[in-house]
């Protein structure tokens, strides 16, 4: 079955979030509308040389996968990894404007108490603190300020896990996407593999596209087993339409499908901190390829063409999602990061220096494309799967 916009709608999700963008279009865009994250005057201290940053994000429906895998295996570690997902989705967004801390973080956990016991909440909180402790070894200081945990059984089928992060930094240190220039090259950093600060192989999935991935990969046996894992008003024809079980092995990896879909979102904070220390003046922009996948940069450019003609190889999990779903490759690049979730725009002469920094952390990186002038904004992907254009 081919995944289409109609199928996304039937599942209650949107790849492009057009209605969301329309709803917020009149909100204050902050000091720099073309920045990756919202940047505001220094309301905390009133210093005109500083600014305040804020990010809010969460795991989306990835927490449903954690619930199912935990029920199937009793493995609480997936909940600790879910805590990492929330932190990284916020942290790496703020990194894209040049912030390296200190950061303040708060979490919001809503649960159905009948299904999510205290041991799960404890695992989530422990996972967050463990990640924070690990990042401090690399000079990334995050202060966990607590948060809200609410029992909302009437509105939450299993659990939702979200968070917010804020930072204060000097305006002169900001990185703004309006600095992307014709002639820049793009270095892509791999989202898969095992970085020096990770405990196991990472599939690269991140925290986007998990509704589609869950239903396109997993088979109908989960429909009756976990009715709490989906909205009962959703057409059964688009639910759990794949052939796999959570504990089936994902080919070419050490993971089963459940663990692959639940790989914690890889942070690039240790890499970016070193990169900014050693070559900040050469960095024109950073883009975190989350919602929108490889087309994310379209939100931040005008009159530029982004050509990506040397992308990293497609990791096994994304290949499996495409095989199981029949989703067009053009749509895959729009929904998923496809193996590179952070891209850096910089002069060609500095690319090898950045690639070498990523290599210190065992993160594969390479020049994946370039920037050209254009009358319209456009992303063109030239890959082994085809050539695709997005505007």
Mean pLDDT by 10 residues, the chain (391 residues): 54 61 73 91 95 95 97 97 97 97 97 96 97 98 95 93 97 95 98 97 96 96 96 94 98 97 98 97 97 95 97 97 95 96 98 98 98 97 97 94
For residue 3, the model assigns a pLDDT of: 45
Helix axes 269-279, 77-95, angle to 10 degrees: 20
Q: Note the residue count of the chain.
A: 391
Q: Please, what is the Cα angle at 153 between 150 and 157, to 5 degrees? A: 110
> Pick from 195, 247, 193, 194: which is nearest to 218 by CA?
247
Rounded Cα gap, residues 345 and 348, in angstroms: 9
Domains present along the chain, CATH in parentheses: 5-390 (3.90.650.10)
What are 382's two structure tokens?
A: 């030239």
The whole model's pTM is what? 0.92
Q: What is the DSSP string of 225-265?
A: H-GGGS-TTS-GGGSS-SSB-TTSBPTTSSSBHHHHHTPPP
Q: Are 206 and 261 in contact (CB under 8 A)?
A: no
Rounded Cα gap, residues 70 and 353, in angstroms: 42
Q: Are 223 and 278 in contact (CB under 8 A)?
A: no
User: Taking the CB of residue 107, how many other CB atoms lie within 10 A of it?
Assistant: 23
For residue 260, the model assigns a pLDDT of: 98
Q: Are 277 and 369 in contact (CB under 8 A)?
A: no
For residue 28, the model assigns a pLDDT of: 75
Rounded Cα gap, residues 341 and 92, in angstroms: 10
Long-range contacts of 278-283 (CB under 8 A, 24+ apart): 278/353, 278/357, 279/346, 279/350, 279/353, 279/354, 279/357, 280/98, 280/173, 282/346, 282/347, 282/350, 282/353, 283/175, 283/344, 283/345, 283/346
User: Taking the CB of residue 319, how many other CB atoms lie within 10 A of it?
Assistant: 18
């Amino acid at each position: 079955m081919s995944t289409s916009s109609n199928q996304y709608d039937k599942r209650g999700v949107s790849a492009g979030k057009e209605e969301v963008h329309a709803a917020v279009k009149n909100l204050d865009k902050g000091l720099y509308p073309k920045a990756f994250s919202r940047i505001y005057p220094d309301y905390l201290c009133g210093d005109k040389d500083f600014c305040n940053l804020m990010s809010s994000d969460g795991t989306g429906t990835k927490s449903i996968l954690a619930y199912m895998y935990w029920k199937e295996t009793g493995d609480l570690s997936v909940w600790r990894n879910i805590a990492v997902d929330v932190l990284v989705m916020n942290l790496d967004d703020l990194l894209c404007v040049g912030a390296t801390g200190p950061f303040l973080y708060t979490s919001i956990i809503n649960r159905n108490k009948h299904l999510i016991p205290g041991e799960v909440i404890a695992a989530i909180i422990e996972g967050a603190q463990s990640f924070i402790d690990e990042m401090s070894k690399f000079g990334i200081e995050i202060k966990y300020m607590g948060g809200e945990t609410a029992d909302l059984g009437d509105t939450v089928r299993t659990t939702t896990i979200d968070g917010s992060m804020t930072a204060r930094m000097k305006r002169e240190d900001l990185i703004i996407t309006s600095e992307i220039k014709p002639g820049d090259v793009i270095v892509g950093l791999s989202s898969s593999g095992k970085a020096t600060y990770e405990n196991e192989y990472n599939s690269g999935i991140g925290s986007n596209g998990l509704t589609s991935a869950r239903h396109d990969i997993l088979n109908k046996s989960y429909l009756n087993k976990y009715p709490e894992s989906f909205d009962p008003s959703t057409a059964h024809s688009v639910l759990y339409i794949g052939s796999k079980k959570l504990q089936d092995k994902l080919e070419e990896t050490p993971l089963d499908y459940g663990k692959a879909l639940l790989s914690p979102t890889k942070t690039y904070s240790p890499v970016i901190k070193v990169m900014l220390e050693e070559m900040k003046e050469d960095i024109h922009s950073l883009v975190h390829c989350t919602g929108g996948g490889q087309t994310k940069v379209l939100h931040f450019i005008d009159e530029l063409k982004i050509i990506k003609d040397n992308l990293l190889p497609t990791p096994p999990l994304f290949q499996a999602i495409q095989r199981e779903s029949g989703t067009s490759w053009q749509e895959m690049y729009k929904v998923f990061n496809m193996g590179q979730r952070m891209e850096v725009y910089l002069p060609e002469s500095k690319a090898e220096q950045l690639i070498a920094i990523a290599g210190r952390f065992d993160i594969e990186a390479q020049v994946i494309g370039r920037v050209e002038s254009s009358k319209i904004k456009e992303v063109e992907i030239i890959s082994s799967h085809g050539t695709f254009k997005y505007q």
